[in-house]
Amino acid sequence: MSLLPRLANHLVRSPAGRLVARPWLDALVLYLLKNWYFPLSRLWAAARAAEGDIDRFIEQVPLQRPTRSQRKTIAAALRQFERSRLKAFSIEQLWRHYFFSGRETPADRLPIIEEMRLDFRSDYNMARSKFIRLRKLVRTSVSMDPPTPAEVAGVFGENGEGLAGYFTLPAQVPQVQVSRRIRRPHGHDYWLRFASPSASMRDTVYARVHEPEAVSDPPTLIFGHGMCVEFDHYRQLLDAVTQLTGMGIRVIRPEAPWHGRRVLPGHYGGEQLLSRIPLSMFDFMAAQHQEWAVIIDWCRNDSNGAVAIGGSSLGAQSAKAIAMNACDWPARLQPEALLLITHSRHAAEAALDGSLSDIWNLGDAMRAAGWHQDSEKNWLQRIDPQQRVCVSGEHIVSVCGTRDRVTPIATALAQMDVWGVPPQNRFSYRRGHFSTPLGMIADDKPLLRFADVLRQAGTGRN
């Protein structure tokens, strides 16, 4: 572990960590996202499409016409970017060979390959910094290509009558490959890999598994990540959820569509979800339903322990939508518990009303395609309409921040009322969207409660 992540981990877990996980952090993060991360991500994505070509890069951003000096800056940045990309791509191929080929290689090489993968991939992601001098030339941080209302109605019908069949389970469950394992302080890590059953994705799903040491038939949490979060491609990300492995719970973290290894050419992680909204949101959620069903099926075959689903932010919204639609699934594919961190009633609230919507500033492109806010909301709320959930309220744990301006807490609490979630399963902090999950690293009460809930759910199942 490098010095900086080690210091960050120590700080957050120390008493001083409570001072870090405060609302001031959320204001800082939102500022950095708007002025740095998203503009630099658009430049990074354009470099992926340009493949070293300066004019193609300028077109892909798109950039205001650069000066001669700026063209030199672009040329130098693209050269460094291509070096980072080649290293990351090469080690990824070697990593797949070592972990998934089935060929016997010395076990002591696996942690080394994994460390190299994270090093080179982190450097590749951080190649965004090569374009810092160009960030103020970026006109929009999202490459927009929204469908028209007529296009969406053509897919789903004027009143969304075709949506019901869009979230159906795959007719055939794809084969799940299991990678070789590496030792970790909590036990073992390994990966699952399978072909996405989604007709819209047509790619490969990867999921990282954190498995506790010497636990027979472990209960499992399938945990979804947030928008633009690529947890499996950075060194030592601060994370609370993996603490559950120390409580005897296996954690599976699927890589969501259009993130990580699944990013489309010319995009950055999560951008496609915004580029084609609202149609992209339906494709994303439908894929999440089908892919998580495959993982639940694998869990049932691998362990007799209970299975929970959950997530943070967009991952929490995915888990909630799945838990509602799973009422019509076979009993063995229905989860027994839910863990929801920083969530709201509808995914549309974050996309249209939250603080991130101001950062993305999708309005002009959407209006040009014939949309207005009411029509967008009308379609997006059909993704996760309020309905009953397949999980008992006593088996749902909710974690929210009263200062959350991305996923408003009021609608989340109202939904928990409808679902009958008891007070002891609700955790509310005077924090925002980003400081709430960070605060759970030092304060693990929600995770301890969830571990108890999952054990109780497993007892009821057996």
Amino acid in the structure at residue 313: S
DSSP 398-419: EEEETT-SSS-HHHHHHHHHHT
Helix (H, G, I), strand (E, B) or coil at 235: coil
The C-alpha atoms of residue 156 and residue 380 are separated, in whole angstroms, by: 12
The C-alpha atoms of residue 252 and residue 256 are separated, in whole angstroms, by: 12
Give the pLDDT score at 327. 94
Amino acid in the structure at residue 27: A
Domain residue spans in the chain? 149-461
β-strand partners of 192: 178, 207
Helices 38-50 and 68-100 cross at an angle (nearest 10°) of 80
* Pairing relationship of beta strands 220-224 and 426-429 according to DSSP bridges: unpaired
- The class (CATH top level) of 149-461 is alpha beta
H-helix or E-strand containing 372?
none
The C-alpha atoms of residue 428 and residue 394 are separated, in whole angstroms, by: 17
The C-alpha atoms of residue 86 and residue 52 are separated, in whole angstroms, by: 12
DSSP 268-293: -TTHHHHHTTTHHHHHHHHHHHHHHH
Give the pLDDT score at 383. 87
Tell me the mean pLDDT per 10 residues along the chain, length 462: 41 54 86 95 97 96 90 96 97 96 86 96 96 92 94 92 87 95 92 96 97 94 95 82 93 98 96 95 96 98 96 96 95 97 90 82 89 88 89 97 93 96 97 92 94 87 52
Q: Which of 227, 224, 201 is nearest to 38 (CA)?
A: 227
**62 upstream amide cis, omega within 30 of 0:** yes
Residue 351 backbone class (left: φ over 0; alpha: ψ -120 to 50; beta: rest) = alpha
Q: pTM for this one?
A: 0.94
Amino acid in the structure at residue 222: I
The C-alpha atoms of residue 51 and residue 81 are separated, in whole angstroms, by: 9
Q: What does the buried/exposed string (b/e) look like for 376-398 if buried means 16 or more CB atoms within 10 Å of the residue's CB?
A: bbebbbbbbeeeebbbbebbbbb
Tokens 């209302």 sit at which residue? 149
